[in-house]
């Protein structure tokens, strides 16, 4: 038994030395690749939306459909703000005062994100479209990101308005 132990110990020592010895030669390959930005910063929205009907003095409401901001700039500090505005007041007929609904009577609510990559994104607060307002934003973060939401719109139809089909333009933009 002592003979076996004496033989095994030197073999184990040689094996340990061989395992920790650096190879006689080595070759390094410096390897590179490029991460490219693809489409930059874009926003998309449904081309049309229909709200519920309302009588004068009533409320028309509905969803606008999915709005998506896609930031593929792939940079450090990819921040942006998406804004919404009523770029064309709701009008019917000749667009007289009794045939127009202005932004002060239109409330926009972005709601929550319905899809999101590389968060975090922040919804703006609900409010009138008397002036442009924040719909969604990204205050900090790196790399590509995107967010989608389905905003709700409520129109308080003035009691002095006439009947008709009112059409206006709600514009989303991002910078």
Residues of the chain with pLDDT > 90, as a percent, come to: 77
Which pLDDT band holds residue 2 (cuts at 50, 70, 90)? low
Higher pLDDT: 9 or 159? It is 159
How far apart CA 24 and CA 44 sit, in angstroms, is: 60
- What is the model's pLDDT at position 29? 86
CA-to-CA dists, residue 14 to 5, 8, 21, 24, 118, angstroms: 14, 10, 11, 17, 52
Per the rule left: phi > 0, alpha: psi between -120 and 50, beta: everything else, 102 is: beta
In this model, does residue 16 exceed pLDDT 90? no
Please list the helix, strand and coil fractions of the chain in percent, rounded to the nearest 5, in that order: 15, 35, 50
């Amino acid at each position: 038994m002592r003979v076996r132990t004496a033989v095994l110990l030197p073999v184990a020592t040689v094996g340990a030395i061989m395992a920790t010895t650096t190879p006689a030669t080595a070759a390094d390959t410096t390897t590179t690749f490029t991460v490219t930005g693809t489409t930059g910063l874009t926003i998309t929205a449904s081309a049309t939306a229909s709200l519920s009907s309302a009588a004068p003095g009533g409320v028309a409401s509905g969803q606008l459909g999915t709005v998506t901001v896609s930031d593929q700039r792939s940079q450090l500090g990819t921040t942006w703000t998406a804004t919404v505005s009523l770029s064309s007041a709701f009008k019917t007929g000749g667009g007289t005062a009794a045939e127009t609904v202005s932004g002060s009577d239109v409330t926009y609510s972005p709601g929550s994100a319905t899809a999101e990559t590389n968060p975090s994104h922040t919804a703006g607060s609900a409010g009138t479209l008397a002036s442009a307002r924040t719909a969604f934003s990204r205050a900090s973060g790196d790399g590509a990101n995107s967010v989608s939401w389905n905003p709700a719109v409520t129109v308080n139809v003035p009691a002095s308005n006439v009947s008709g089909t009112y059409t206006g333009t709600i514009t989303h933009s991002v910078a």
